[in-house]
Copies of this chain bind each other. A is one copy, B any other.
């Protein structure tokens, strides 16, 4: 069993997005007001949500706890995924991201239970890695009309695995703004081999 100590380090909010019109595509915003329900007015808000394709163990539409209030990505990781898909870029808003964080190595691998303390603001707790899906892939494909749209949509789940950032929920309410410092508290880690 590998053990790795808890640690704290600083990162920064690079940019913010919200999907307030009920679509899966987000748009840049100047700030994000978050409550314990998530982003005010966002389609992913709520203390609970209904299950979908990510929870094949539940009948579709089962009410469950909402651990996916926010989506957080890293520009470097999306660039790696874009290169693997042989496209110029993947914009955070195409895949419905809410936040681009700067200053985090291997953001997508930050462990579950990590806490993100926003300076003078809210806290987000990390559920874990966000699995890339073909629906987000289809929204990327719309920006590359010269490519086979179905093939490009399906490439996203394969090529962006481990690079699509994190999902999490609001632990404490507040306001998030670009440029804000974020203290990231990573819990002690180990590999369970039981």
Chain B residues with Cβ under 8 A from A135's Cβ? none
Report if A125 contacts B (CB, 8 A). yes
Determine if B110 and A128 form an interchain contact, defined as CB atoms under 8 angstroms apart.
Answer: no
Interface-located stretch among A13-21, A82-90, A136-144, A168-176 = A168-176
A64 within 8 A of B: yes
Bound Cα distance from A106 to B186, whole angstroms: 21
User: A23-31, A91-99, A111-119, A147-155: which one contacts chain B?
Assistant: A111-119
A2 to B193, CA, bound (A): 12
Q: Is the CB of A106 within 8 A of B171?
A: no
**Contact B65–A169 (Cβ < 8 Å):** yes
A contacts, CB < 8 Å to B: 1-2, 4, 36, 47-48, 57-58, 62-65, 67, 104-106, 109-113, 115, 117, 123, 125, 127-128, 169-172, 185-187, 189-194
